[in-house]
Amino acid sequence: MKKNSPQDEAMIRLYEETKDSFYKLSKSINNFPTKWGLSFNALMLLDYLYVHNDHAEASEAADELGIPRQTMTALLDGLEKKGVLARFPHPNDRRRKVIRLTPEGFEKVGRLKCENLATEIAALKQMGERDIRMLFKLAMKFDACLEQASRAYNGPVTTF
């Protein structure tokens, strides 16, 4: 087995020290919408439909939001049963469907967006502008670095 460089060993130690914080943040973000009886994916989908309500398609929403297509189908089925959205024939291709919030769904998502904004603003106010700007700058930097490292990785890949 290849021995890690001292710099790699230092990064591994730092990762071990901080990984629980990343897991905790990820869990908080994913659990946040449960107060409305939603998953994080459902919240993202409803927000997407609120903005793209006149021309949304399941495949485009899945790709844009990074949600697997099977998960998207299950989300749509559940939200359709609740009367929040409806599927309509595509105007130019009968094999495709357009997804729209129902009038009741649109109104409900509008209220949810206001509640979500109020909650997030309350959290951000506790941090202060300087820390918020630093957080977002570092989050975007980490995102770019992670994406680059993921593309560059050419080692073995475990599949399930």
Which residues span the domain enclosing 138?
26-150
Six token digits for residue 98: 């357009």
State the pTM of this model. Answer: 0.79
Residue 12 belongs to some domain of the structure: no
Residue 111 belongs to some domain of the structure: yes
Residue pLDDT tens, the chain, 160 long: 678 898 989 999 999 999 999 899 999 888 889 989 999 999 999 999 999 988 899 999 999 999 999 999 999 999 999 999 999 988 888 888 899 999 999 999 999 999 999 999 999 999 999 999 999 999 999 999 999 999 999 988 888 8
Six token digits for residue 116: 């979500």
Residue 57 belongs to some domain of the structure: yes
What's 98's domain CATH number? 1.10.10.10
Residue 125 belongs to some domain of the structure: yes
C-alpha–C-alpha distance, residues 85 and 103, integer Å: 9
Residue 8: which residues within 8 A CB-CB, separation 6 or more? none
35 touches 83 (CB < 8 A): no
Let me know how long the chain is. Answer: 160
Residue 56 belongs to some domain of the structure: yes
Residue 51 belongs to some domain of the structure: yes
Q: Domain total for the chain?
A: 1
